[in-house]
Amino acid sequence: MSIAVFGITFDARDAKAVATFWAQALGRTVLDGADEAQASVAPDPAVPGSRVGFRQVPEDKQVKNRMHFDFVTSDFDAEVTRLTGLGATKLKEVEAGIHYATFADPEGNEFDVIAG
């Protein structure tokens, strides 16, 4: 038996809206057929398992994510400005041997951006 990662899926109140944020953040597109109930960000053809999906649920996010994206960038300040301009909220910035910031997407899902 074999198994491979197809992608990752997040719960959302408005799947299309949050998929649009992530498509812009990742420099990709939202796949055709997206609506409030379900939407996916096109995978990077060079990266197996890079599809990001969103499925509508009735409840708002209640607690911290158990899993999140970690991104690395060579231009930390520019990326912070770009992501907040897309609708992300910076939650904290940490300098502890590694410089990173934790953000929330428009529906509150956390992710980190690491200076690298």
Question: Tell me: the pLDDT tens digits for 15-53?
Answer: 999 999 999 999 999 999 999 999 999 999 999 999 999
Confidence of residue 1 (pLDDT cuts 50, 70, 90): low
Give bridge partners of residue 73 from the DSSP assignment: 115
Rounded to 10°, the helix 76-86/15-26 angle is 160
Task: Classify domain 1-59 at the CATH class level.
Answer: alpha beta
Confidence of residue 2 (pLDDT cuts 50, 70, 90): confident
**pTM of this prediction?**
0.90
Pick the CATH number of 61-116 from 1.20.120.1200, 3.30.310.50, 3.10.180.10, 3.40.30.10: 3.10.180.10
Placement of tokens 């428009």 in the chain: 106
Give the type of residue at 49.
Answer: G
Q: Is the pLDDT of residue 60 over 90?
A: no
Question: Tell me: the pLDDT tens digits for 85-98?
Answer: 999 999 999 999 99
Domain boundaries, the chain: 1-59, 61-116
Examine domains 1-59 and 61-116 and report if their fold is the same.
yes
